[in-house]
Amino acid sequence: MLRDVKSLAYLSSALAPVLFGGISLTTSAMAAPCGLPLTTQTKCVTAITIPGNPLLSFDISWVNPDRAEYYLGDRSNQGIDIIDTRTLTFKRTIKGFVGIMLTSSGAVNNNTSGPDGVTSHGRWLYAGDGNSTLKVIDLDAPTASAIKAVINTGGVTRLDEMALTTDGKLLLAVNNAETPPFATLFTANGDSGANHMSASSIIGKIEVAATIMAPGGSIEQPAWDPTTKRFYVSVPNIQNNPAGCTGSACSGGMLVIDPHNLTFTAGVATLGAFDAASNTGVVPLNNCGPNGATVGPNDNLLLGCTPGNFAADTTSLVINAKTKNYASVGGITGSDEVWYNSGDDRYYLGASKALPPPTPNPVLGVVDGTSVLIETLPQSSGSHSVAADSRRNLIFVPQVGTTGTGHDTTTNGAAICGGSGGCIAVYKHDVDHDDEGDDDHHHDHH
């Protein structure tokens, strides 16, 4: 993820507001959730608070619809928060992460804070931490013993975004803040009932060639496409795109990785310009500096473009994994995490840096399967994280609290949450087939 997008706040140990879940709960000390008037198709259902410190610093989120669980990398509480997506209540926080790390001047060191990226398959949850480690978590284990392995990827900064193959047997995880940035390919646990991961699970590292990667550049969110059997990874900026560009005037690229055909030299595989014959390498993008990536229908990928990477960004991008043909989605930009929900055939974009300029206007963007922007919903500043439960057509968007460094600078968060401590906002888009009992075929592809 973009380094400055996630420089969300350090907070003291003040307790968060009292936990509440469900759809209509209110107290005398807290306004009702979903207080922000909406005329959109996507409706607010409720807001869920997290026990402990107010929610100010968080990163990526994920949903496993088969387990009916939502997971959030919560730096404020040094762990992975788990929400029950059936009852819309808080379940637990799996701690053991570094939390918010500070620089010598007292500012948040976003590059070493954690947890960061998360993904899951079956009982196994994988989460990156600020010290370059992968935490392997058994969701069927008690909270105190849930972390079954801690694997160091060899960097000095955070392990961030990650993606799994459909069978859960290969994991790609990115150290986005290293110089140069790299991804690590692991053999993962799949459907195993016991952990088999350790340092020996690292297959090797993957880097973008120095002739392609922009100086000081990064690599961001990966997604797995089961049809082409490739990982597709957002690259915020690449060199000479367009020719002669420098810094944020350079558009980005999409790194295509075939995990079964990599050549490692001293443990590192280096990929350069795109090769159509092998369908690997870096595809230059037009007017898009992407952070997020998600696979939608017909092998289309939506990329979360943002002016935080490419200054001229005014749109988002949908690109076909096979043909590399693309369509621009007007009216929405500034995204970090993006998610395709197969339950309603819509993309959801955590657009904390949405335009119009000069002041970013944080929104949840909603794009349909034909790549048309349907609507935007106001969010708290910094609401860059989004995930959806495809069986229940519920969309989860963390909101930051109203006090502390990096607090919400809008009035949206307090209205959505019904309080000042931040929350997980829950939205729903009703469709004809959203009956939980008959839609077991719905799965999200990332």
Domain that holds residue 89: 43-397
The answer to whether 335 and 350 have CB atoms below 8 angstroms apart is yes
Residue 80 DSSP SS3: strand
Which residues, 6 or more positions from 71, have their beta carbon under 8 angstroms from its beta carbon? 61, 62, 63, 64, 80, 81, 82, 83, 118, 120, 125, 127, 387
H or E stretch covering 304: strand 300-305
Domain annotation covers residue 407: no
Q: Is residue 434 part of a domain?
A: no
**Residue 433 counted as domain residue:** no
CATH number (domain holding residue 170)? 2.130.10.10
pLDDT of residue 353: 83
Residue 70 lies in a domain: yes
- Residues 199, 78: Cα–Cα separation, whole Å: 23
Amino acid at 139: L
pLDDT per residue over 358-374, tens digit each? 566 899 999 999 999 99
* pLDDT per residue rounded down to tens, the chain (446 residues): 444 444 433 333 332 333 333 333 333 345 789 999 899 999 999 999 999 999 989 999 999 999 999 999 999 999 999 999 999 999 999 999 999 998 888 878 899 999 999 999 999 999 999 999 999 999 999 999 999 999 999 999 999 999 999 999 999 999 999 999 999 999 999 999 999 999 999 999 999 999 999 999 999 999 999 999 999 999 999 999 999 999 999 999 999 999 999 999 999 999 999 999 999 999 999 999 999 999 999 999 999 999 999 999 999 999 999 999 999 999 999 999 999 999 999 999 999 887 665 566 899 999 999 999 999 999 999 899 999 999 999 999 999 999 887 788 899 999 999 999 999 999 999 876 444 444 433 345 45
Task: Please tell me the predicted confidence (pLDDT) of residue 107.
Answer: 79
In Å, how far are 44, 351, 365, 374, 396 from 415, measured between CA atoms?
Answer: 11, 18, 19, 23, 16
Domain count, the chain: 1
Place of tokens 């008959």: 438
Q: In what order do the strands lie in the sheet with 147-152?
A: 118-121, 124-128, 133-138, 147-152
242-251 contacts, C-beta under 8 A, 24 or more apart: 247/214, 248/289, 248/307, 248/309, 248/310, 248/311, 249/310, 249/311, 249/312, 250/214, 250/289, 250/310, 251/284, 251/285, 251/286, 251/287, 251/288, 251/289, 251/310, 251/312
Question: Does residue 424 sit within a domain?
Answer: no
Would you say residue 32 lies in a domain? no
What is the distance of C-alpha 133 from the center of its chain? Answer: 17
Q: Which residues are bridge partners to 223 per DSSP?
A: 232
Query: Would you say residue 443 lies in a domain?
Result: no
What's the whole-model pTM score?
0.90
Chain-centre distance of CA 167, in angstroms? Answer: 20
3-state secondary structure 237-282: CECCCCCCCCHHHCCCEEEEECCCCCCCECCEEEECECECCCCEEE
Distance CA 287, CA 329 (A): 12
pLDDT tens sequence across 294-334: 999 999 999 999 999 999 999 999 999 999 999 999 999 99
pLDDT score at 352 = 87
Rounded Cα distance, 44 and 418, in Å? 12
Residue 408 belongs to some domain of the structure:
no
Residue 438 dihedral angles phi and psi, to the nearest 5°: -125, 20
Q: Would residue 324 be called left, alpha or beta, if left means φ above 0 and alpha means ψ between -120 and 50 degrees?
A: left
